[in-house]
Amino acid sequence: MTRSHGFTLIEMAIVLVIITILIGGLAMPLSAQIQARRIAETRQTLQEAREALLGYAMTHHVVAGTNHYLPCPDTDNPPDGKENRIGTGCSGQSGLLPWVDLGIAPQDAWGNRLHYGVVTQFADAGSGFSASTTLRPPDPIVICTTHTCNRLSPDVANDVVFVLVSHGPNGWGASNINGTTLAAPTGLDEVENLNGNLIYTSRSPTQPDAASGEFDDLTTWVALQYLLARVCPTGSDCNPLPPP
């Protein structure tokens, strides 16, 4: 007579250990893949927001004039996705992206609003800008690799007219879609992207234990010459051809 045998407790324990090891080995790569996808999605969102801001400038003119202007930041608390103006000027030079006015996605891949900083000279609906406009004091936005940046010699970009920032996977300092402001960042380079002084940091990400501190912000920006080339090309209303 044959007798059937089931798994012993030891055999079952060994199988469970093997399964646990396999799942643990897959979990880390899967987590990394999800994070990489969110970063890629957010970079795309930033580029779409950048193009939307340029499109806004192309379609908005000062009253009875040919000059164009950019939107102001959303400085409401809680934010409503709409720009905030005082008269023709902005209520502030930095805040959140006015996504309602632009008709674009309201948040990054982690559910947080995008930060928007602009040189208010270019967002003034009373004067606007044309192909001959130059940056005037206060100083323009500059992009650096560290919070110790020298404004007079930034190492990434200068003469920047507007900048967009996602506060990245950690979200420190961001305003989420529920209107809640998350805990302030501890890394000084991330703090630089929140203090509204028109100096911004853009560099490779680092962990909290790095000498330079934690950093995972994502940024994009537009400098003066690129703005003018896109919004006021030769022959446009803000850069007309000379008379024959």
CA–CA distance from 78 to each of 60, 195, 231 (Å)? 26, 18, 32
What pLDDT, on the 0 to 100 scale, is given for residue 214?
95
For position 223, what pLDDT does the model report?
97
Asked if 135 and 224 touch (Cβ cutoff 8 Å), the reply is yes
Indicate if the alpha-carbon torsion angle 149, 144, 186, 162 is positive or negative: positive
Report yes or no on 106 lying in a domain: yes
What's the domain range around 121?
A: 36-231
Q: Is the pLDDT of residue 52 over 70?
A: yes
- Return the pLDDT at 8: 74
184 is a domain residue:
yes
In a domain, 165, yes or no: yes
Residue 4 has pLDDT above 80, yes or no: no
220 strand-pairing partners: 164
Overall domain count for the chain: 1
239 assigned to some structural domain: no
Residue 217 located in a structural domain: yes
- Is residue 240 one of the residues assigned to a domain? no
Please state at what angle helix 224-231 crosses helix 9-59, rounded to 10 degrees.
60
The answer to the question of residue 243 being in a domain is no
Is residue 42 within 8 A of residue 166, CB to CB? The reply is yes
The reply to whether 162 falls in a domain is yes
- What mean pLDDT, rounded, does the chain reach? 91
Average pLDDT over residues 62-87: 94
pLDDT tens digit sequence for 152-184: 889 999 999 999 999 999 999 999 988 889 999
Specify the pTM: 0.87
